[in-house]
Amino acid sequence: MNISSQGIRKGTKTKKYRKFPLFSLPKLIELLKSIKPENCDPESPVFTSLTGKLINAHTFNADVWKGCKRHGKQVDGIVTKLAKEGKISHYRPQYQTRHTFITQQVAAGKSSTTIARWVGNSASIIEKLWVPPQADYFQYQDNG
């Protein structure tokens, strides 16, 4: 758990902190640079609530990700809207983002050791759960 001037931030499940490399994600770098305040405090969260405070995970998932009712009218969340617009194949719950990221990295040919370091798993877990058997791998690459 990390306590800052902004309040209490939840730590990782494994209690280990890791750096996440952004160099391979130019669109994310561009987005982060575009929203960075001129005089930002390195302790400040990157994304905040509308009131400038830490985002409540439950509220974010219910209101922003999925959608909610406001004044009796259904307001679609970001992912619900993307699914309706056909930009993604179907609605995906927030907890699937990690799985999707790992799957994309495997398909891109990243090593299981590298992916494991990024996401806080062991290489053997990445290989067991995400890397297809060798015979299926080439088909996976062709269809991915």
DSSP state of 94: T
| 135 band by pLDDT with thresholds 50, 70 and 90 | very low
In the predicted structure, residue 142 carries a pLDDT above the cut 70? no
Helices (H) and strands (E) in the chain, counts: 7, 4
pLDDT in tens, 56-71: 878 888 888 888 888 8
In the predicted structure, residue 34 carries a pLDDT above the cut 70? yes
| 113 band by pLDDT with thresholds 50, 70 and 90 | very high
Radius of gyration of the chain (CA): 18
**Residue scoring higher pLDDT (41 or 25):** 41
Distance CA 94, CA 79 (A): 9
Structure tokens at 115: 């992916």
Q: What is the enclosing helix (H) or strand (E) of 138?
A: helix 134-143
Cβ–Cβ under 8 Å, residues 92 and 100: yes
In the predicted structure, residue 20 carries a pLDDT above the cut 60? yes
Of the candidates 90, 87, 88, 64, the residue with the CA atom closest to the CA atom of residue 75:
64
Please state the φ and ψ torsions of residue 67, each to the nearest 5 degrees: 125, 165
Supply the pTM of this predicted model: 0.62
